[in-house]
Structure 1
Amino acid sequence: MSYLTTPRDLTRAPTGAAPLGVGVPGFAHPLLAPTEWAELLRCSRSAGPRGAAPLHWAVLNVSNGPGARPDPHCMPAVARLRETGAAVLGHLDTGRGTRPFGELISDAHRFLEWYRVDGFWLDRCPTDRTLLPAIRRVATCLRTLREHTYLVFGHGSHPCPGYAEAADQLVTFAGSWADYRFSQVAEWTADHPPERFCHLVHGVPRTHLDEALRIARWQGAGTVYFTDRRSAGAAEAAGDAWESLPGYWDAFVSHTGMGVSE
């Protein structure tokens, strides 16, 4: 497609660019992943060379949403993380635009009442222009529920440009390293700063972590999550790949805290 381009030189990055940050699309339940949640706290408390913590946000997904009742293990885990200043986003599954408006807003209310989330992750967000008005309506309502609501649209690929007007951040890539290393970026994204875009990549070998970070910077992403874990299911249902720490977590976090010229 004409609006897609591929970076030609991954050895040269723009100088003075801001360091990348980490976005966690959803660790497993705190009982099943205590180490992961502890690392979120450590990551959020640590400041990089420019004074900013590398953790931008983390998604809370209790049971494909907030669950039927407050979870006694998630509540304190989220409270401790938010005390560090990290943003916690409630997981709302849009079903590629098929989920009823009322269900999404009801789930959002429960996330706010039980966990006091800072915003929402709209998972499986559609990308086509015809469904933009419906997603825009959801986003407008979510922003009325609390001040400074942060919204991340989990498209997984480049949507039509209009979605950028409704979200704080768009996930324009979510998939495997095999696809990411040859991925292309939509030209219209150059009209927006890097903090508007996020890339999520699974199956990244440790030996290719630096290359993955260079690709993210060249393609204009400000938030990333790279892991060597692999998805056992389809590309769209890659949640299992994000549930545990990558084997190179410390290296990943330390590298995202660096600007490209450092």
Structure 2
Amino acid sequence: MSKLLVPYYEHPAEQPEAWDALIAAAPSLYGVVLNPANGAGSSADAAFAEVADRLRSAGVRVLGYVDTAYGARPPQDVVREAARHRAWYGVHGLFLDQAATSALQLPYYADLRAALAATYDTYVTLVLNHGAVPHPGYARIADLLVTFEGPWSAYPPAGPTGPDTCHLVYGAPPDAVAQAPVHCLVPGQLPHPWGTLPHRLEPVR
């Protein structure tokens, strides 16, 4: 059965109905990406902490957003931000954005996985958002690989789709069908597609 991984980048105080819809959809979710300030931010946000608690109580996997700059960001900065996500929002794991695709960066992400495992006191779910098909070695590092992020006009992508792959598609019509077991197809467009929910989760207004 397919599941939704939803990167929803809106503040809970500004879009409470949308967050309510996400929580109500708990059984259909692989997880929700929490992104308070293009990452964890410099201080805890009470509204995000409250919604993270509600998501966890509903049985939803909560993932903290962290940018890795395609392997160029210092690993210690990634680990520090991951620790803030854990301390402030009780996340189950991380959504590492701008993940590299080349074999050259495999050691960087393997070392990150080990460092994050040492930081957390429970298992860390790791999602790598490559946005394209990466080297096969990344499948040994992450729990889930985002192998496509882009517009509906470019979907479906070329390349294999395995059980641990995810597609993030924006500009999708209401009848859009995903080609990956984990996915998120939203109607939103650039520059801010992830301020919308998948069609079937949009709250009634």
Matched, 1:156 2:131: yes
SS in structure 1 opposite 2:25?
Answer: helix
Which digits, 9 at most, give the CA deviation of each residue in 1:157-214, with x for residues without a partner?
Answer: 0000000000000000110011114x2123xx5xx5x2x11101011112x41xx33x
Residues 8, 197 of structure 2: 8 Å contact kept: no
Q: Matches of residues 31-42 of structure 1 in structure 2 within 5 Å?
A: 31-42=13-24
1:196-248 CA distances to partner (integer Å, 9 max, x unpaired)? Answer: 11101011112x41xx33xx1xxxx221100111113xxxxxxx1011224x3
Deviation at 1:27, TM superposition (A): 3.0
Provide the residue aligned with 1:64 in structure 2: 38
Pairs aligned (count):
201
Q: Give the counterpart letter for 1:249 in structure 2.
A: R
Q: Which runs of no fewer than 5 residues in structure 1 stay unpaired?
A: 1-18, 45-52, 233-239, 252-262
Structure 1 segments, 4+ long, off by >4 Å, are none
Unaligned runs of 5+ in 2: none
TM-score by length of 2: 0.93
Distance in 1 (alpha carbons) for counterparts of 2:196 and 2:151? 16
1:107 counterpart = 2:75: no
Contact 2:21 2:201 in 1 (8 A): no
| RMSD, aligned α-carbons | 1.4
Match of 2:190 in 1: 231
RCO higher in structure (CA 8 A, sep ≥6): 1
Report matched runs for 1:12-31 at 5 Å: 19-31=1-13
Match of 2:149 among 168, 174, 186: 174
Q: Secondary structure at the match of 2:168?
A: strand
What TM-score, normalized to structure 1? 0.74
Q: In the alignment, is residue 203 of structure 1 matched against residue 171 of structure 2?
A: yes
Q: Which has the higher Rg, Structure 1 or Structure 2?
A: 1
Query: In 1, Cα distance between the equivalents of 2:151 and 2:35?
Result: 22
AA partner of residue 7 (structure 2): P
Contact 1:151–1:168, Cα closer than 8 Å, also in 2: yes
Q: Aligned pair 1:147/2:122, yes or no?
A: yes
Residue in structure 2 matched with residue 82 of structure 1 by the alignment: 56
Aligned-partner Cα distance in 1 for 2:154–2:29 = 25
